[in-house]
Structure 1
């Protein structure tokens, strides 16, 4: 029986008479994800896109009436008509405006397969067409990805080199988790998660006596270990807490002066700020108490514990998805440097344990086959979270990582993989921007909002309807993903779609290099064998791999400890920073002159909250981002068909709310409906809802319409984390909630659009 690899797990598809009946988790997986149970029904549900479709007025006159996106019916057409239309619009935009008017908007979670990876396929196609405007970084990790190369090294290198869970179980004594270690987040990895690690890792650490501190507004952000202290911090104040911990270490002489002198630069500049010599405000525990709501004595006691014990400090991705999001990452590194345990077994820092499955696996960091995207002749780009700004403000300047750039004038958006109406913030503002391009083309499997708000919709296959290879860096298995079922309806894989468009545009041979999809699988696998040898891995030949179904990636000879060689000899193994050291003060960042991200970590006041409750919009448990929200597992988690919103009993009592009520959640950006869950596992003054509920406005296409399903990005802020990164700031949002006492509008998110 063959396997398939999903972002959230490895499964054995059960097929009877050509129909998928079930997804059986791999027998070796100790903590399989239930998301797989959603797939069989969802694949053939009414949400499935069966044939190419074009928006009605667009079909009559291409480029017309962009204001009707999301409002008018579609017309199903043949593949020939649809592909002719796509090719014609690409050719026209290129001739009239140049390739810099084309935005390749694909996002990277379309498939765990390494060949049928929608983003790689689209980018290769557009590069060979003459280029496209691209996006940098990610919604998940925008601020961190820009910051970290300046102060330690790039994120991909760091994540692959994180100290292993095995090492932590043996050597760590205290694990301080800013943002917790939520098991639901660790269910996924970009190229697949063949063996889920976090739950078992925490059990093993607990058995060896590791103590945990969960610094989060949510108690359930860290569960499982026996010894957990919960510090229900005020959202967005983690940097202040880390500064106060640092103040205790420095003022009481508990920091490691030898370490900061040998392995860091800029400590003295930071110390003067920390002690209040710069601004007259010592960053002590009493100062932090007012900002964090954590008692000063608890802060002081925690700092002393951290100095006494072998301590790992971890920061979740969610903390940098906010205004000034660079600061908690920078402070995590700085605090760990003051403790002086970086590079030691069981100590130091982590940037995302629990955020993706493979972080901390300890396995060799081989990522498997790659499909070459080629070289992009167009150099214009945007930070990924600035899509709306780009569409609304062509030609306007923006800052990014020390440069001032300008937004391009986009006429055509081509999207394959991803759902902008899930990932992006302030959807009312996005709706306005989404009316600006003359053409929006999307490859999609289901009638998501991304598809409904497009002009040309091309039905794409799912991972179960094609052959592929699943592989993530540092994952246990590379998996031969054998096709399980025939494509549903007229769905085609992205490669064949783009090859046919390329034929119409005259470069099919360059795009395909004469290979069909099966030949590309063999070619990319064979190419990866050389890279595997660099990691000490001997891959079998392709035929044996395909027959066996999987190949196990082993462990390196020595256990993985982050920055161990740097600690042993910083001169022989310098960091890829300007100084070769950890940069507590960065001359390069300081030279940019950004008031919202100066040369060392600082506390910067947050925007004043206009509403009384702070909203956390975190990752869901029952789906990946918005994938399979229409599946049974996600739909079963809803409250009266709406996404659940959790609030503290005191906040519920003040508003006359009980479990099962439906509320309107609103601020000056918009409003959505959600179902109430009351819990003492969330601190007062905070409400929490998962992202990923399919966008479902009461009046489709209309700005400021009530969203009736529970999509929090109706009200999140679409502003950059800082001038340095321009990362998303979804976690910086305040709201009010009131009980919904009217008739409930029906959920239509999972219904296909009208067809003519």
Structure 2
């Protein structure tokens, strides 16, 4: 079997590097990358996924759309398969018709950026470059992961949220040296840190928690699941949706017991007096005390008092998971965590203050000397319309309808054509039956996709796209210290072409071929981008090989890691709040924001407040008594590789965790098939009974491909059939996926 056609090569992905064994035109094995201390298990399924029968084999056009321009039958699966040239002709003619009849503002360019860790064949960059070349498109703001935080946190700290996350937060090394108490709202889950934008090579989160244990650090996991943090952490069970109430109660203890650092508040923040009046109940008659918070959170008053005192007497880092802002009023726990940290007076100290997203992706908590990546130029978008990314169904269902977003009054554009490349909105979005209805509204939907996902099944024109293993690329992430040559491991499967070839073919038919390609083929583009990267690296004092040398070596580790890199933004601000003022209107941390207050939003006023979601344990009913949380999957990235995973006996439907008391009341045992349902839909799942989840809460991971729409039960267990499609507030308009009530019954 070890003949001339068998090869072993390393490539990179969003879940890290791995060694791939190929034989002829097939991937036959995938193995962990040697230097990775905690390699994920995800690559094991890669050979089955790449060669799965669900691959889109050839260009496909929905028959009913081709003959009558029917919109309502999307998802019926009846396609014709013309040759590539004919399919590209039809698509180019339709794009041209839409932009000439309705303008480029009638085109929505959807992409989510997770299609490949390769820097040139980055679907998001490819589709945006193409659409900008032909006159622009309606774009989206933010992400489903952090859209709410991206709206609120610039008002609080004056920085782009991702800049704040990557350039102002302490590394795990700093935390290990200085932090005495780690308070994790939503936990820090090594499962989630398996993946990272552009790839993470050495998975270190679990190892750092071993180090935290050795230092004697107190680690408190606050949330509905014990497993949201590594074993050995103290679990403080807390009802989902109530974190802001708990933070307020902790703040109340600090204020009433003289533990709040008023010197810090006076020098580094604005608006504490306005917030204090609310905290103490002077404005609404309700002090936000531990006794007030206990019935909301399920946390005993004595426990809240003890935790607040410990936080005030030790070097304390508050961390907040991205999941907390993926709920109705998700702005509030993010804002309130900053206020609580300010009251402790430790913002800007090593190992103290507040941090966001540790464990959410693998790169957060690592330190590097800055070194840019390789980015395909996308050009300029001539269309000014931008929607919050999680409001796509609202846009399609209600063109022209006004809506509020972060202080602006806007109107949804009238979208006639959706072009999607790199992503599966029928994974990310909420209330998928509603999205299915919204998907019938555009005149045309075009998708580039390797597999017949739920999104591809609802497209009018589907172009078969290559996977990252069928094309050459360069793997490089600014959150990683490795550089990879990603060889084409196998020829394209079926008639698949890379996104660049697809868009180049469309651009040529629209008379803009040279504008898109600049006369370069993929190899020339890769060389051009790499030359720029090499020049920047040399200027930064970092040695990188030539492209030919990298091809020969396959991968290198860059000399950019730093054991404990200073974080300049908040360190400098603490040292000199006048000379290194924040970019907020006041130059300080804004506990009260006059800007937000001027918006007049009752769902996001001028300082953090407790606003109960419409669906959470406090509003549970006999029809929907259980609160659903939908965490990220541990066996794949989002919904990628799902087709092959679903083939494994017993792997589908997805597993739902249910507390032993709730299970007993329903006659449910581990392994039973159950139906989870509410007024929005129903899904099938397999129960696992546990005591590691709060009573009244169930957890169903995302990622199973959406199946039957309408009143039919989704057989695979996609929780977004059940989640609410509402914005977090008029300020953030992020996803509210974690604000949903359901019932569960045994099948």
2: CA distance between counterparts of 1:231 and 1:535? 45
Match of 2:318 among 309, 313, 316: 313
Question: Structure 1 592/536 Cα, relative in aligned 2: closer, same or farther at 3 Å?
Answer: farther
The alpha carbon displacement at 1:205 in A equals 1.4
SS at structure 2 position matched to 1:666: strand
- Name the counterpart of 1:672: 683
User: Contact conserved, 1:368 with 1:478, CA < 8 A, in 2?
Assistant: no
Q: What residue number does 1:440 align with?
A: 445
Aligned to 1:430: 435
2:414 paired with 1:414: no
Structure 1's 569 and 546: CA in aligned 2 closer, same or farther, altered over 3 A?
farther
Residue 324 (1) aligns with residue 329 (2): yes
Residue 337 (structure 1) aligned with residue 342 (structure 2): yes
- Kindly indicate whether the alpha-carbon contact (under 8 Å) linking 1:160 and 1:473 is maintained by their aligned counterparts in 2: no
Question: For 1:636 and 1:300, how far apart are their aligned partners in 2?
Answer: 48
1:304 aligns with 2:294: no
Question: Match for residue 3 of structure 2?
Answer: none
Please give the residue correspondences for 1:161-176 in structure 2 after superposition, counting only pairs within 5 Å. 161=167, 162-176=169-183
Q: Which residue of 2 aligns with 1:688?
A: 699
Residue pair 1:8, 1:189 contacting (<8 A) in 2 also: yes
* Structure 2 CA distance for aligned equivalents of residues 204 and 551 of structure 1: 27
Match of 1:629 among 642, 648, 672: 642
Q: Which residue of 2 aligns with 1:656?
A: 667
1:174-232 C-alpha deviation (Å, 9 max, x unpaired): 111000111111111110111111011111111111110000100000113x4x21111
1:86-141 alpha-carbon deviations (Å, 9 max, x no partner): 10000000111010010001112111111101011000000010000111111111
Task: Flag the 1:367–1:211 CA change in 2: closer, same or farther, 3 A.
Answer: farther
Are 1:552 and 2:563 matched, yes or no? no
The superposition leaves residues 33-91 of structure 1 with CA deviations (integer Å, 9 ceiling, x where unpaired) of: 11101111111111111111111122234xx1110110141111210111011100000
8 A Cα contact 2:125 2:376, kept in partner: yes
Tell which deviates more after alignment, 187-196 or 567-576: 567-576
Aligned to 1:71: 76
Q: Work out whether 1:155 is the aligned partner of 2:161.
A: yes
Structure 1 length normalisation: TM-score? Answer: 0.95
Distance 1:301-1:4 versus aligned 2 partners, 3 A rule: same
**Correspondent of 1:134 among 121, 130, 139:** 139
- Counterparts of 1:528-677 in structure 2, within 5 Å, are 528-532=533-537, 536-553=541-558, 554-556=560-562, 559-561=565-567, 563-607=570-614, 608-610=619-621, 611-632=624-645, 636=648, 638=650, 641-677=652-688
The answer to whether residue 519 in structure 2 is matched with residue 514 in structure 1 is: yes
Alpha-carbon distance in 1 for matches of 2:372, 2:686: 40
Offset, 1:261: 1.2
8 Å contact kept, 1:167–1:560: no
Residues 383-394 of structure 1: pairs in structure 2 closer than 5 A: 383-394=388-399
Q: Deviations over 1:293-337 (max 9, x none)?
A: 000000000000001111110000001001000011111111111
Find the residue that maps to 2:281 and give its secondary structure.
Answer: coil
- 1:750 maps to which residue? none
Distance in structure 2 (CA, Å) of the matches to 1:48 and 1:169: 45
Range moving further from structure 2, 117-126 or 550-559: 550-559
Deviations 1:121-167, CA, capped at 9 Å, x for gaps: 00000001000011111111111011111111112211212201111
**1:728 is aligned to 2:735:** yes
Aligned residue for 1:104, secondary structure, equals strand
Deviation at 1:531, TM superposition (A): 4.2
How many angstroms apart in 1 are the aligned matches of 2:225 and 2:117? Answer: 30
Distance 1:616 1:86 in 2: 40
Q: Is the 8 A contact 2:171 2:564 kept in 1?
A: no
Q: What whole-Å deviation, never above 9, does each CA across 1:478-526 have from its counterpart, x for those lacking one?
A: 2111111111111100001100110000011010111111111111122
Partner residue in 2 for 1:236 = 241
The answer to whether the Cα contact below 8 Å between 1:164 and 1:560 also exists between their aligned partners in 2 is no
CA 1:690 to 1:87, structure 2 compared with 1: closer, same or farther past 3 Å? same
Distance 2:541 2:570 in 1: 20
Distance 1:198 1:540, change over 3 A: same
Aligned to 1:120: 125
SS at match of 2:657: strand
Separation in structure 2 between the aligned mates of residue 160 and residue 328 of structure 1, nearest angstrom: 20
Q: How many residues align?
A: 730
* Deviation at residue 542 of structure 1 after TM alignment: 2.7
Please name the residue that 2:42 is paired with: 35
Ranges of 4+ aligned residues in structure 1 off by more than 4 Å: 533-536, 634-639
Following superposition, the deviation at residue 365 of structure 1 comes to: 4.0
Q: Which residue pairs with 2:216 in the alignment?
A: 209
Structure 2 residue 710 is matched with structure 1 residue 703: yes
Q: Which runs of 5+ in 1 are unaligned?
A: 741-756
Shift in alpha-carbon separation, 1:500–1:140, aligned structure 2, 3 A:
same
